[in-house]
Amino acid sequence: METVTMKVEGMTCGGCVASVTRVLKAMPGVAEAEVKLQPGQATVRYDAAKVNAAALKAAIEDAGYDVPA
């Protein structure tokens, strides 16, 4: 299992946190996703054989949020 922490911009409320959490947990290989409004980040524990950090970033961006490099 690997863990990555990504900055997530554009979240303004608990509903945003719930949306990002739901999108991440729906991805194959994601074991755990912890999303925090402050400081605006997502920490994800995942199986690198099933998903990678780029795919997680893309899923967050597809949900309407920004993940700066």
The per-residue pLDDT for range 41-64, each reduced to its tens digit, is: 999 999 999 999 999 999 999 999
> Which of 3, 5, 8 lies closest to 67 in space, CA to CA?
8
User: How high does pLDDT run on average in the chain?
Assistant: 97
Domain that holds residue 56: 2-62
- Residue 12 pLDDT > 90: yes
- Residue 69 pLDDT > 90: no
CATH number of the domain within which 23 lies: 3.30.70.100
pTM of the model: 0.93
For the chain, give the percent of residues with pLDDT over 70.
Answer: 100
Which residues neighbour 56 within 8 Å (Cβ) at sequence distance 6 or greater?
A: 4, 6, 24, 27, 30, 42, 44, 46
The answer to whether position 68 is within a domain reads: no
